[in-house]
Structure 1
């Protein structure tokens, strides 16, 4: 979900100081789709909106909580307005919680990564808690917002973590998990992982450069070999370290970038759908429509109609 508050919170800014931050905002216009490199828990407080992501298009209203994994494209179109509180959670922090929650069964952090990939197969979910149960969360999310704005991540860390644990305790029974195993090679090609393992290491310079190249020129006919040559490592090595950093292969990451760019063109220009697809590097309309729908939840034509209805 292109969540209310995204414009004022940059994960690059807050993740250096704390593994979580919360913001409340009211939105009156369509947003997204955008993807963030963090897990997001979004509590709907007032109003309603159409939410579109990998699960298609659904309506959200008070009583709902939205769970979005890292690097999941999502957007929203308010029905008048919607007020939400968004909690942004660092993926490494979330993975460590899995590690310690199942410490009796898991040997180490790598085991936790594999375990999380096994059970969390739906990186975009709407949790229908109901207004009474969601109302229980409000004092905790309000305090979390206040402490996040105060900006004392060290001094307030234990209280922020306690608040998050209380919220997680209420919503966790509603999160869909699966006993079905999806292999890592399948997962990184089709959907983002939740969460992924960064091993608490800085992103490699060549990986950052590869992601920047894809973002700066998504229309280029990229191959893994071309991208690897640009950053001067082997294609197999680039694929491995890129998945470790971003939770998906370079070409899957490129698909996400193209879908986000296409949505922006459909919102902000008068280009035809076909012309907009070609602008972002897709030259087959049927292929582009299928990929856009997989990542955004609606077809490009439907997405443009949604924007036109708000004019």
Structure 2
């Protein structure tokens, strides 16, 4: 089973008693021998390199990663890798609302409630993809905590292990957090006065609103169509402004930015798996201007389409 399908299974399957085994924290360790992605997940990912090395590419460009490095990826951020032989990683998957709630309580002195925690987090953590160079000594400190977190995740009884899972996660972040690049933010009393309260919600790694899920499905199933926001909104019976609001809440991106991400992901797949020319592959995913497509692909993947294909040839 692939990690993507593993996450889907963990997010959607139900127990015999009807309860849902969804966990806001899920950890897995695996060894990768072949290229991955670029792919995006609707959750935050913290990836700790345990052994081996790889070339990573995302919005930060192309970076080598090895033992001692931690990769931090925001939700719906494309990232791919080319192992140099093989690479073993432990990945911690975190529900985005769970992360926002942590930010809410970490900055409780600045935020009166969690309504604007998402915007506050996006202001603080302006880089959605980061490679953190912890060094081997710091990374080795994480290994027993990571192994136990993986074991408890596989056990599946999140309620029973709730406090231990949180204790392990906080121990891990106590080591990792000082390396995360952040921007200082000041929230004034006048800003706080305009904050409205909102209850936490359970994302289950997919958006809560059916309209957002439907719109995302339409974009995934027909990425080459020349979508407009108005056409997409009509398909789900919402106004354009309402669809944008619902979609951003669910995926952290506007519908058209989400479409760009899907096209970049599909273009990478064509460049990996077919002999199509770069121009023909671009047209197949719905981009008809090579210069525009190159700019967008580089923005989302970190490489130009030509460089991406050459990288695949060099590492094949």
Question: TM-score scaled by structure 1?
Answer: 0.90
In structure 2, how many angstroms separate the alpha carbons of the residues matched to 1:51 and 1:81? 13
Q: CA separation of 1:7/1:204 partners in 2, compared to 1, >3 Å: closer, same or farther?
A: closer
Q: Which residue of 2 aligns with 1:10?
A: 7
In structure 2, how many angstroms separate the alpha carbons of the residues matched to 1:218 and 1:21? 30
Q: Which residue of 2 aligns with 1:149?
A: 154
Alignment deviations for residues 276-307 of structure 1 (CA, whole Å, 9 cap, x no partner):
10000000011000000000000111111122
Larger deviation: 41-50 or 16-25? 16-25
In structure 2, how many angstroms separate the alpha carbons of the residues matched to 1:145 and 1:220? 41
Q: Do residues 295 (structure 1) and 295 (structure 2) align?
A: no
Q: Which residue of 1 aligns with 2:210?
A: 205
Q: Does structure 2 retain, via aligned residues, the 8 Å contact 1:66–1:124?
A: yes
Q: Does structure 2 retain, via aligned residues, the 8 Å contact 1:40–1:88?
A: yes
Q: Do residues 119 (structure 1) and 124 (structure 2) align?
A: yes
In structure 1, how many angstroms separate the alpha carbons of the residues matched to 2:25 and 2:96? 10
Query: Which of residues 145, 161, 164 in structure 1 aligns to 2:166?
Result: 161
Q: Which residue of 2 aligns with 1:67?
A: 72
In structure 2, how many angstroms separate the alpha carbons of the residues matched to 1:205 and 1:44? 36
In structure 2, how many angstroms separate the alpha carbons of the residues matched to 1:217 and 1:70? 22
Measured after TM superposition, the shift of residue 8 of structure 1 is: 5.4
Alignment deviations for residues 206-248 of structure 1 (CA, whole Å, 9 cap, x no partner):
2211111000000000000111111121111111111111111
Q: Do residues 249 (structure 1) and 254 (structure 2) align?
A: yes
Q: How many residues align?
A: 293
* CA-atom RMSD in angstroms: 1.9
In structure 2, how many angstroms separate the alpha carbons of the residues matched to 1:232 and 1:172? 42
Q: Do residues 228 (structure 1) and 225 (structure 2) align?
A: no
Q: Matches of residues 177-196 of structure 1 in structure 2 within 5 Å?
A: 177-179=182-184
Would you identify which runs of 4 or more consecutive aligned residues in structure 1 move more than 4 Å?
none
Q: Which residue of 2 aligns with 1:266?
A: 271
Q: CA separation of 1:248/1:140 partners in 2, compared to 1, >3 Å: closer, same or farther?
A: same
Q: Do residues 216 (structure 1) and 217 (structure 2) align?
A: no
Larger deviation: 200-209 or 55-64? 200-209
Q: Do residues 129 (structure 1) and 134 (structure 2) align?
A: yes
Alignment deviations for residues 176-200 of structure 1 (CA, whole Å, 9 cap, x no partner):
001379xxxxxxxxxxxxxxx9951
In structure 1, how many angstroms separate the alpha carbons of the residues matched to 2:291 and 2:147? 45
In structure 2, how many angstroms separate the alpha carbons of the residues matched to 1:284 and 1:111? 38
Gaps of 5+ in 2: 13-20, 187-197
Measured after TM superposition, the shift of residue 203 of structure 1 is: 1.9
Q: Which residue of 1 aligns with 2:191?
A: none
Q: Which residue of 2 aligns with 1:103?
A: 108
In structure 2, how many angstroms separate the alpha carbons of the residues matched to 1:20 and 1:13? 11
Gaps of 5+ in 1: 182-196
In structure 2, how many angstroms separate the alpha carbons of the residues matched to 1:259 and 1:6? 20
Q: What SS does the aligned partner of 1:218 have?
A: coil
Larger deviation: 145-154 or 40-49? 145-154
Alignment deviations for residues 75-101 of structure 1 (CA, whole Å, 9 cap, x no partner):
000111111100001111111111111
Q: Matches of residues 168-179 of structure 1 in structure 2 within 5 Å?
A: 168-179=173-184
Q: Does structure 2 retain, via aligned residues, the 8 Å contact 1:198–1:244?
A: no
Measured after TM superposition, the shift of residue 13 of structure 1 is: 2.4
Alignment deviations for residues 146-171 of structure 1 (CA, whole Å, 9 cap, x no partner):
11112211111211111000000000
